[in-house]
């Protein structure tokens, strides 16, 4: 992603912060509300309902930046929204999870900050610097990066799903429906609301991708380390990782 960006792209986003702030606001209002509504409407078992709410309360995932690149959306805006939502998630994810799931979910703020630096900011910065310092090399490498990124995402998803295979076979259909409703509604509202509020179509497309795609891996980690006794709590995050990647790529 960094290979396709220039410092001017980030200056453009930061000099007009309204789309980024709107996207982050929708991220933490639309998705948690949708998750709680879907869990209630489908009458999910308590562990599955909590797991789905965890997905909804997580920040945007870095996969959204890859999909924004593939979709020719505003990658710089996507990266800024992912970074900002991840930082804010230090406080908002446990707060929203506690309110909507009826229990407190501990979040390691320093670990989240390290995740932003290692997974988002550092690689993008390296790519931008490479494009500035070695533009010829950057042009040769850039076309190879999207398929490499897609392969990496697929391997991460496979690891999450593989650990919950048996539970997936018994609970898969209902959770597939739940995650389709959650992410599909997120993509739709993330597109329609910014358009109604006067944002450009490119910005609205970027916000739609960012709102519709969650950091499902973080939801799995929170489900496993947040004191939940049922292993089923991690399953919605595992299925979500597949669903939002496929839906985002298709869109």
Percent of the chain with pLDDT over 70: 85
Between helix 201-212 and helix 18-41 the angle, nearest 10°, is 40
Average pLDDT for the chain:
82
Q: What is the mean pLDDT of residues 38-67?
A: 87
Q: Which long-range contacts (CB under 8 A, 24 or more apart) does 103-109 make?
A: 103/50, 105/54, 105/57, 105/222, 105/226, 106/225, 106/226, 106/227, 107/222
Question: Residue 162 has which token pair?
Answer: 């593989």
171-208, pLDDT tens digit by residue? 788 889 999 999 999 999 999 999 999 898 989 999 99
Q: For 126-147, what is each residue's pLDDT tens digit?
A: 888 888 888 888 888 888 887 8
Give the residue-averaged pLDDT of 83-104: 77
- 24-49 tens-digit pLDDT: 999 999 999 999 999 999 988 888 88
Sign of CA dihedral 158, 163, 166, 169: negative
Q: Pick 11 or 142 by higher pLDDT.
A: 142
Query: Quick check: 52 pLDDT over 70?
Result: yes
Q: Residue 59: what pLDDT?
A: 86
Q: Is the pLDDT of residue 116 over 60?
A: no
């Amino acid at each position: 992603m960094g290979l396709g960006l220039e410092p001017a792209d980030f200056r453009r986003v930061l000099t007009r912060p309204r789309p980024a702030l709107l996207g982050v606001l929708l991220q933490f209002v639309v998705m948690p509300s949708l998750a709680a509504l879907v869990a209630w409407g489908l009458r999910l078992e308590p562990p599955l309902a909590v797991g789905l709410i965890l997905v909804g309360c997580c920040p945007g995932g870095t996969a959204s930046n890859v999909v924004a690149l593939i979709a020719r959306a505003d990658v710089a805006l996507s990266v800024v929204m992912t970074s900002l939502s991840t930082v804010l998630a230090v406080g908002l994810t446990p707060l929203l999870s506690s309110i909507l799931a009826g229990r407190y979910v501990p979040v390691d703020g320093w670990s989240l900050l390290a995740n932003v630096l290692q997974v988002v900011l550092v690689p993008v910065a390296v790519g931008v610097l490479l494009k500035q310092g070695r533009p010829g090399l950057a042009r040769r490498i850039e076309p190879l990066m999207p398929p490499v990124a897609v392969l990496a995402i697929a391997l991460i998803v496979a690891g999450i799903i593989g650990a919950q295979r048996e539970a997936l076979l018994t609970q898969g259909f209902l959770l597939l429906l739940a995650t389709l409703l959650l992410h599909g509604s997120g993509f739709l509202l993330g597109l329609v609301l910014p358009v109604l509020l006067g944002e450009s179509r490119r910005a609205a497309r970027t916000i739609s991708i960012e709102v519709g795609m969650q950091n499902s891996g973080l939801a799995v980690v929170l489900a496993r380390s947040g004191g939940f006794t049922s292993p089923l709590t991690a399953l919605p995050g595992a299925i979500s990782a597949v669903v939002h990647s496929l839906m985002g790529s298709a869109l």
